[in-house]
Amino acid sequence: MSRPCGFKDTTTGYPCTQVVENEHDHCEAGHPCTPLKIMSDQVFDTTSAHADSLDVDELLHSGRADEGLSNSPIRLMKEYPKINSVFKRDERGRFLEGDWSCPEFEYLSDAPWIFTEKIDGTNTRVRFTAVVDELRYERPEFGRTNNAQMPVHLMDRLRILFDTDKMCRDIVVKAFNVDKGALPQVVLYGEGYGAKIQKGGQYIPDYCDFILFDVQVGQWWLMPEAVTDVAQKLGLDRVPIVGEFSLNEAIEKMRADSLQSHWPSAHIEGLVGIPTVQLFDRRGERIIAKVKVRDFR
């Protein structure tokens, strides 16, 4: 059955649109394609998509990182999960306190959560994957949605951080301790922040940067301590961990505006939290919540 090649053209870095007849055929263009098929179905089997007891090395070498992915090809990267506020809102956008936005939040409101500082920036994704016998870097995909726009000065910074084959190969091997061809799909989720990005000038007044907050290896979300380890090995900043406390306590801290930002010149915007044991709802979505100071003013 004829279909677009859909493989990645390693010359241009973009999907090939040449028509091929069979699933594993290369296109007629003769360029060096790699088997990264473009797929509209972005659904993962997330019933076991957490790495509570595995560190990065163990996960990568256990053969479990690719669970839920087809053997070939590799599925497209999902957008970062939507982070819900804790309560529903009225028609004027004000919190309806006590009317939880998700039943899971109410059920887990007294359970321990791990909270990080919410950064006022733009959501940014960077993906790496191993294809055949070499590490290949996929150009950064930006924004929480695929149609998000990227500030030019932030794009320039991301190119400095990531956009060379040698740099990507070196840092990925260093961070994940793998040989060529052994790396499943890895997605770095972070925030572009700093000057001229939202109110990011309060963090960095004269330039912009990328700060990491989450990592997905195959279908597995890394635990917070593993995310910190990856950030250190890649030489990236990591969103500050504020502490471990309940969702109800987080709400009270935001109501009282009692927390200080990691950045002395900034006012803390809010918190983003996950349960200390990573959990998923019945649709397979992560349990993740945000609480902002301004919602209680």
**pLDDT at position 66:** 46
**pLDDT at position 41:** 25
What CATH number is attached to the domain comprising 210? 3.30.470.30
Residues 101 and 10 in one domain: no
Asked if the structure places residue 51 within a domain, the reply is no
Q: Which domain holds residue 252?
A: 84-118+242-296
More confident residue, 210 or 11: 210
Residues 64 and 146 in one domain: yes
CA-CA-CA-CA dihedral for 191, 238, 107, 283, to nearest 10: 50
Q: Mean pLDDT across the chain, nearest whole number?
A: 74
Asked if the structure places residue 152 within a domain, the reply is yes
Residues 130 and 221 in one domain: yes
Asked if the structure places residue 45 within a domain, the reply is no
Asked if the structure places residue 49 within a domain, the reply is no
Asked if the structure places residue 47 within a domain, the reply is no
Give the chain's radius of gyration (CA, Å). 20
The mean pLDDT of 63-80, rounded to a whole number, is 47
Residues 164 and 223 in one domain: yes
Residues 128 and 202 in one domain: yes
Asked if the structure places residue 187 within a domain, the reply is yes
Residues 134 and 198 in one domain: yes
**pLDDT at position 60:** 52
The mean pLDDT of 169-177, rounded to a whole number, is 67
Strand ranges inside 208-261, DSSP E: 208-217, 220-221, 237-238, 241-246
Report if pTM > 0.75: no
Residues 7 and 92 in one domain: no
Which residues are paired to 233 by β-bridges?
A: none
Residues 231 and 152 in one domain: yes
* Count of the separate structural domains present in the chain: 3
The mean pLDDT of 282-296, rounded to a whole number, is 94
Residues 72 and 142 in one domain: yes
Using the 3D structure, point to which of 189, 215, 238 is the last residue of a domain.
238
Residues 72 and 169 in one domain: yes
Q: What percent of the chain has pLDDT over 90?
A: 40
For residue 239, which of 219, 209, 201, 276 has the smallest C-alpha distance?
A: 209
What CATH number is attached to the domain comprising 288? 3.30.1490
More confident residue, 220 or 68: 220
State yes or no: pLDDT of 276 exceeds 80. Answer: yes
| Residue 286 Cα to chain centre, angstroms | 12
Asked if the structure places residue 169 within a domain, the reply is yes
Asked if the structure places residue 44 within a domain, the reply is no
What tens digit of pLDDT does each residue of 100-159 get? 999 999 999 999 999 999 999 988 888 776 554 455 555 545 555 565 667 888 888 888
Residues 210 and 283 in one domain: no
